Structure 1
Amino acid sequence: MLSQSVYTLVNQQNSNLSFKLFEFDNNSYFDHIQRNNYFTLILITSGEGLARVDMCDYSFQENTLFAFYPYQPFMFLPKGPFMGIAIQFHHDFFCIYRHHKEIANNGLLFNNVYEQPFVCINKSCKNTILNLIQQIANELKEEEFRKDEVLVSYVKILLVMATRIKLEQQTLQDADNANSKQRFLIQNLKNAIEDNFRLKHSASDYADILNLTPVSLARITKSHFNKTPSDLITERIIIEAKRELYLTDKTIKEIAWELGYEDEYYFSRVFKGKTDISPQFYRDTIGFNRGAS
């Protein structure tokens, strides 16, 4: 394990925290809803319980790696002893949106409304990840030339490893459900949302596309995603809004219009209802073009 509990890297240009690595041996840090201004990776090395993410509960055991995006609400409700390691990094340090092609991580680990926010790792992968984390810690505690570049390389490796595991687990899950009618309905729903979320915002729209009743669609999404159809649609809209707020200098009104909202203030209320912050606040604290309105 780590030789000390907390390692940090500060952005020399604005004195903000860029990167943080810390070890925990209880749940005092995560026993309330977290809404961090960072991407967060949490490896559970010991313990089991429930993770509450976006108001959905997921069971977890040791050797689980969670991935949370900025301002995503989460907390842990462990049963008994609880230990692990957390890594947090800011957009300024490493932007998932800008590097998704390099790490094959386009919405797979982070910002994925269709998948659970974690992967389960075996003993071999756990040891590899722990060794990588130790190298990150060694780099953080030394004053070396361009340590930020080295840390970014380590983060990329870690994300690629997690993505490979996620893809492998998806393949196994698909094989288990190869003959399931529901699997095809789920894929059709995903495709329908991806094709129409900018224009169609109601659950009944997607029930019509899939030739289902709204009640049947709600039953399917509850059993497969533990979410309502409206949750899936709105979360997909919010993901796109975040990308636009981060990567472009479009006004809030322009982004709202492109996402199917004629009233930018109503769009802002929807955004805040899901993220607990306004689009402007998100841009001011996360966006690449900070201060644009």
Structure 2
Amino acid sequence: MADNQNTFTLVDPLTGNLAFKLFLFEDNSYFDHLQRNNYFSVIWVKGGSGRLKSDFSEYSFEKDNLLAFTPYQPFMLSTEQAINGAAIQFHPDFFCIHKHHKEVSCSGILFDNIYHPPYIKIDSTSAATFDMIINQVKAEMQNKGMAQFDILVSYLKIFLITASRLKSEQQALDRDPDKVNKEPFVLQSLQDAIEIHYKTKHSASDYADMLNISAKALARITKSHFNKTISNLIAERIIIEAKRELYLTNKPVKEIAWELGYEDEYYFSRFFKTNADVSPQMYRETVGVGRASDNQLVN
């Protein structure tokens, strides 16, 4: 459905909620307040600049930046120069990045990447690809035809794959040996340690001891490079896994809490709500336990 010439929306007939949406924006009125949506958002800022507040951090963004956010990830844009661009939003029931990880591989790169800012710089080649996809989506949404759902998912996959490849390339440049010094080496060790132990070790001091560095020194380096504290990183990693389990499985919250190192289900639920601004049960109900990928959507 075309709400107007700049907004195109698909609605899930089972819930009445947004399934897929493309809209073109010419100012910051949509993003100038805190966003906590139950769907993914990918925002291409074609022009303008400003400040992005997301999770525990604040960043600068500029034209030709692509911003990416997961369900219930908080973000807000404050502009320094008027912005314009295009945004794609989709619910996990329309396209689940976890179920299709082998095809798209954007989880942990474009989305849920706690060690890098939630944006990438768009080059001219990728910009041409994104423009082509956006025009194809607009045409498809305006002229409903057979297999519209499958076609839109295909366009979305191309968009996400292109963005993920670009971010991977940019991260590889950041790891260029010529740029590496002692501090980034320690940080890579910290990342590896968190990925291995986040289910059992929840305190910053655990990781400082593990890396044989003072807690104060590790905290300084971490804040300098990631713009986050060690506790922020650990909490974000735990929440990412909890969200994944809540979406993909029917496990009771108590079981998920136990697997993530929390013996007290109620303590874990409070921890989750503090960091996700929604209870585990509400997250499951609004983002949804993964349903069949062939849901029939209407426009």
Query: What are the superposed Cα offsets for residues 80-138 of structure 1, whole Å, 9 maximum, x if unpaired?
Result: 21111111000110001111110122311111111110110112321221111111111
CA separation in 1, counterparts of 2:18 and 2:258? 34
The 5 A counterparts of 1:168-183 are: 168-175=169-176, 178-183=179-184
> How far is the alpha carbon of 1:13 from its aligned partner?
3.5
Q: Secondary structure at the match of 1:47?
A: strand
Amino acid at match of 1:99: H
- Structure 1 residues 267, 185: closer, same or farther in 2, change over 3 A? same
Sequence identity, in percent?
Answer: 54
Contact 2:93–2:288 (8 Å) recurs in 1 = no
The 5 A counterparts of 1:246-257 are: 246-257=247-258
Contact 1:177–1:183 (8 Å) recurs in 2 = no
The 5 A counterparts of 1:228-243 are: 228-243=229-244
2:104 matched to 1:72?
Answer: no
> How far is the alpha carbon of 1:177 from its aligned partner?
5.2
Greater relative contact order (CA < 8 Å, ≥ 6 in sequence): 2
Number of the residue aligned with 1:262: 263
Query: What's the TM-score, normalizing by structure 2?
Result: 0.93
2:102 matched to 1:120?
Answer: no
Amino acid at match of 1:13: L
Number of the residue aligned with 1:143: 144
Contact 1:43–1:65 (8 Å) recurs in 2 = yes
CA separation in 2, counterparts of 1:219 and 1:249? 40
CA separation in 2, counterparts of 1:166 and 1:48? 20
> How far is the alpha carbon of 1:204 from its aligned partner?
0.3
2:84 matched to 1:96?
Answer: no
Query: What are the superposed Cα offsets for residues 186-228 of structure 1, whole Å, 9 maximum, x if unpaired?
Result: 1110110011111100000000001111111111110111000
CA RMSD of aligned residues (A): 1.4
- Structure 1 residues 106, 26: closer, same or farther in 2, change over 3 A? closer
| Number of residue pairs aligned between Structure 1 and Structure 2 | 288
- Mind listing any 5+ residue stretches in structure 2 that lack a counterpart? 292-299
Contact 2:93–2:290 (8 Å) recurs in 1 = no
CA separation in 2, counterparts of 1:132 and 1:164? 16
Query: What's the TM-score, normalizing by structure 1?
Result: 0.95
CA separation in 2, counterparts of 1:183 and 1:73? 27
CA separation in 2, counterparts of 1:101 and 1:269? 33
The 5 A counterparts of 1:176-215 are: 178-215=179-216
CA separation in 2, counterparts of 1:220 and 1:177? 19
